[in-house]
Amino acid sequence: MKAKFVVSSDSPLNIRVSRSTARFETYRYIPGTTLLGAFAAAHRKIRNDTDEFTRFFLSGEVSFSNLYPANFRDDDFSNTDLQDDEQPIKPIPNTARSCKRFSGFRFKADSDKKERHGVMDSLIYWGLFAVSHQTKVEVLNANMKCTYPVEQAECCELLDTFSGFYRRGESITEIGKSEAKTRLLTRTGISRETGTVQEGILYNREVLNEGQQFWGTMSFADEVLFNDFHDFAVETGDKGLLRIGNNLTRGLGKLSILEDEFEELVPDDVMSLRQRVLAFNEKFHAQAKAYCVDLPHQLYFPITLESDTIICDTQLRYQTVLNGEYLHQSFNLADATLIYQSANKRRVIGWNALFGLPKAAEWAISMASVFLFGYDGDANDNFYESLYNIEQNGIGRRKLEGFGRVIVSDAFHWEVNEYESKDENS
Ligand SMILES: [Zn+2]
């Protein structure tokens, strides 16, 4: 079973992106690895129970996920429609585009008194360009400028990449970006000899501000395990023992758990996945017809990474691409061909708090990467079961730490096009 999980930062958080002393940036979210480590450390402090420790952290029956910024409860954020924690926070896919000058979702732009010209997803256009063997340049040209109406004309600025995190409300017209707020803290070094300020040592740390919410999910093998972990998590939060990231001895890293928000989530079923797949495919075919692009495959579906994903080939070499061969080998899903990708890769580092040792660095395909597949097999029940399996179980290594979360035919790719409608700020 799956549960949503929301925490609030009670003090600034610093989760370093690099071990290099020259880097001072923090992650803009709470990685699942860090969350798992924090809970494991807290368990050692308050429960002297090896069996329970094994059940929670080593058995593979509890999986953690990244917690993404969910700042929709802030006083200065008028977007109250997006406060519902039933709705996930996700990385904005790599294929999102927004006006270069006034970027952002149009939703509530008026009430926020901000000029935001809208967001669209370019995956379908890039996909069509790819299947046309990169000959139909007009597909891209027709969708590269901001059409936001300004003074009886259009804005006409180029569309640029648009990244971060977002939440979609009940309806597609309700969609907003959620950004983690950060600041720089300047700290003095402490002399190891005297325990007082070390002269000449002054350093900066970027931190995530206190008072922010972070949203994620956790999965449990069964209800009993969920209830047991729930009790433990609440106790940890009540005792102020959930501490995360770096500089803990300097008062950073305190988290509290929003107990009311730690509850079961109803998962998507195969039917809703099937509807999404068909909806994307229909839009893809309709646009292909509109731009006179011949489609070599019957069905098209994208896989979008909701967290960094670590996959290796049979010889344990890190892969930076999710391709048809991998889907075939790992999920027995034959006849899928990768036709377009918008992907990045990232070095993943980590610290094993339990053993006090650094974790081996690995290569991951970055969250928000998108892979578009063409499918020529029979789109029968087995096909949809395979896709459902991919989505529910995730892909690749270290899934218990939140890696490898993916979504098939994410509605973002066919729903989000604020330039298509002529609506101004809704
Ligand atoms: Zn514009």
**Centroid of ligand 1 to alpha carbon of 159 (angstroms):** 8
Are residues 101 and 64 part of one domain? no
Are residues 50 and 185 part of one domain? yes
Domain-located, residue 426: no
Range of the domain at 224: 2-71+180-265
**Centroid of ligand 1 to alpha carbon of 155 (angstroms):** 5
**Centroid of ligand 1 to alpha carbon of 74 (angstroms):** 27
Residue 423 is predicted with a pLDDT of 44
**Centroid of ligand 1 to alpha carbon of 151 (angstroms):** 12
Are residues 375 and 275 part of one domain? yes
CB atoms under 10 Å from CB of 324, counted, come to 18
**Centroid of ligand 1 to alpha carbon of 332 (angstroms):** 45
Residue 424 is predicted with a pLDDT of 43
Are residues 276 and 261 part of one domain? no
User: Domain of 223: which CATH number?
Assistant: 3.30.70
Distance CA 7, CA 28 (A): 14
Dihedral angle at the C-alpha atoms of 264, 15, 52, 215, nearest 10 degrees?
0
**Centroid of ligand 1 to alpha carbon of 146 (angstroms):** 5
The count of domains in the chain is 3
Distance CA 203, CA 207 (A): 13
Domain-located, residue 425: no
Are residues 292 and 341 part of one domain? yes
Are residues 158 and 111 part of one domain? yes
* DSSP helix/strand/coil, 320: coil
| pLDDT tens-digit map of 97-130 | 999 999 999 888 777 778 899 999 999 999 999 9
Domain-located, residue 394: yes
**Centroid of ligand 1 to alpha carbon of 109 (angstroms):** 13
Residue 85 is predicted with a pLDDT of 81
Are residues 59 and 202 part of one domain? yes
| pLDDT tens-digit map of 255-307 | 999 888 899 998 889 999 999 999 999 999 999 999 999 999 999 999 999 99
Domain-located, residue 364: yes
Residues belonging to the chain: 426
**Centroid of ligand 1 to alpha carbon of 321 (angstroms):** 33
Are residues 158 and 184 part of one domain? no
20/377: higher pLDDT: 377
**Residue owning tokens 């080998």:** 329
**Centroid of ligand 1 to alpha carbon of 101 (angstroms):** 6
Q: Is the dihedral of CA 24, 29, 30, 32 positive or negative?
A: negative
**Centroid of ligand 1 to alpha carbon of 285 (angstroms):** 28
| pLDDT tens-digit map of 38-55 | 999 999 999 989 999 999
Considering only the C-alpha atoms of the chain, give the largest distance between any 2 of them, rounded to a whole number of Å.
Answer: 76
| 132, pLDDT greater than 90 | yes
Are residues 297 and 244 part of one domain? no
User: Domain of 365: which CATH number?
Assistant: 3.30.70.1900
Are residues 41 and 186 part of one domain? yes
Distance CA 170, CA 310 (A): 32
Domain-located, residue 23: yes
251: left (phi over 0), alpha (psi -120 to 50) or beta: left
**Centroid of ligand 1 to alpha carbon of 415 (angstroms):** 19
Give the 3-state secondary structure of 1-44.
CEEEEEEEECCCECCECCCCCCCCCECCCECHHHHHHHHHHHHH
**Centroid of ligand 1 to alpha carbon of 284 (angstroms):** 25
Are residues 96 and 153 part of one domain? yes
**Centroid of ligand 1 to alpha carbon of 72 (angstroms):** 25
Are residues 197 and 59 part of one domain? yes
**Centroid of ligand 1 to alpha carbon of 149 (angstroms):** 8
